[in-house]
Amino acid sequence: MSILEVRKLTKQFGGLTALADISFQVKEGEIHGLIGPNGAGKSTLFKNIAGFYTPTKGEIIYQGKKIAGKPPHVIAKMGIVRTFQETTLFQEMTVFENVLVGCFAKSRINLFSSILGLDKQLQKIAREKVLEVLEFIGLSNRKNQLASELPLGSQRALAISIALASEPKLMLMDEPFAGMNMEETKHMMDLTRKVQESGITIVLVEHDMKAVMGLCHFLTVLNFGHLLAEGTPEEIRHNEQVIEAYLGGAK
């Protein structure tokens, strides 16, 4: 069963084609890797799926609905949440408040109940949810610290917590291992697996081959905006074209 399907997606900037005719499917419940040399168009593809870009041509189908061109918050409300390449957090807020934003993100704006304090029930549920998420991710002991004070590994974990709090069905993770050391990477891999086991489908853009090969059930390889290969990690490892693309890029 595929949760996400990209059909003949093309994205052009001016005369430059960043993505050409990309098609692939993501199976529900899997960790799906999206790899390729620098400038292959992975991040652009992510931004198209999450609604930050509008595709020039093609369709993106999520749970049977066309989503291409919808604004980011609408796509997020449908259950697709992305995390960012850089550590993007609400730096000036505490860990708890960061996750709380994720909880409230989808709830309707009700000015009067907010002023009069009639949303106590909602508040209580949200606070419990935050504690639950922090417990799940393992950040409970840091909940009152400012986000900017956290070490890199915890910041990435917090980014995932914010995403989790908004109850996604599909999570787009943009280079979650970038800049991490061995130990942090291992911890992050465990966390990613834990998220997947809780029933959330994950699409992962990553450079760290070891992490990708260890985590992903299925891989899509891009090169210069074109689809190069698809398959299980085992198949990709032995794919001549892929090896050439990577070696060619290294020259």
Partner 1 sequence: MKIIIRLLKIIAVIIFLAGLIVLPHYLKFHYQDLLIFLTVNVLVVASYRIVTLTGEWSLIHAVMMGVGAYTAALLFKNFNLAIWFTLPLAGGMAGLIAALLSFPLFRMTQFYFLIGSFAAGEAIRLTWMQFIVPFGGSGGLSGIEPPMIGSIDFMDPIPYYYLALGVVSACLFILYRIEKSRIGLTLHAVHWKAPLAQSVGVDTWRYRALAFIIGSFFVGIAGALKIHYLGTITPNQFGIGFMVFILIWVIVGGYNTIFGPVIGVVVLTIFDESVRGFGELRPAIYGGVLIISILFLPLGLESIYTKFLTLCGIGGNSSDGPPP
Q: What share of the chain is helix, strand, coil (3-state, %, to 5)?
A: 45, 25, 30
Contacts of 182 (CB under 8 A, 6+ apart): none
Distance CA 123, CA 129 (A): 10
Neighbours of 183 (CB within 10 A): 9
Q: Which is nearer to partner 1, 117 or 199 (CB)?
A: 117
Q: Where on the phi/psi map is residue 141: left (φ > 0), alpha (ψ -120 to 50), or beta?
A: alpha
Closest approach, Cβ 19 to partner 1, in A, equals 20
> From the list 38, 121, 141, 144, which residue makes contact with partner 1 (rule: CB under 8 A)?
144
Distance CA 142, CA 134 (A): 9
> From the list 129, 143, 194, 217, which residue makes contact with partner 1 (rule: CB under 8 A)?
143
Closest approach, Cβ 206 to partner 1, in A, equals 18
- CA torsion through residues 166, 198, 87, 70, sign: negative
Closest approach, Cβ 72 to partner 1, in A, equals 4
Closest approach, Cβ 106 to partner 1, in A, equals 5
Q: How many residues bind partner 1 (CB under 8 A)?
A: 45
Q: Are 202 and 3 in contact (CB under 8 A)?
A: no
CA angle 96, 97, 103 (to 5 degrees): 95
Stretch 92-131: interaction string toward partner 1, x if CB under 8 A? xxx-xx--xxx-xxxx-x-x--xxxx-x--xx--xx----
Closest approach, Cβ 100 to partner 1, in A, equals 6
Is residue 216 a contact residue for partner 1 (CB under 8 A)?
A: no
Enter the tokens of residue 144.
Answer: 């009152």
| Segment near partner 1 (CB under 8 A); pick from 161-169, 188-196, 213-221, 240-248 | 161-169
Measure Cα distances from 217 to 71, 148, 173, 204, 236 in Å: 29, 34, 15, 11, 11
Closest approach, Cβ 196 to partner 1, in A, equals 19
Q: Which is nearer to partner 1, 92 or 244 (CB)?
A: 92
Stretch 59-98: interaction string toward partner 1, x if CB under 8 A? ------------xxx--xx---xxxx---xxxxxxx-xx-
| Segment near partner 1 (CB under 8 A); pick from 1-9, 150-158, 163-171, 219-227 | 163-171
- CA torsion through residues 84, 134, 209, 48, sign: negative
Write phi, then psi, for 60 (nearest 5 degrees).
-125, 125
Site for partner 1 in 224-243 (CB under 8 A): none
- CA torsion through residues 164, 98, 48, 243, sign: negative
Binding footprint of partner 1 on the chain (CB under 8 A): 50, 52, 71-73, 76-77, 81-84, 88-94, 96-97, 100-102, 104-107, 109, 111, 114-117, 119, 122-123, 126-127, 143-144, 146, 162-163, 165-166
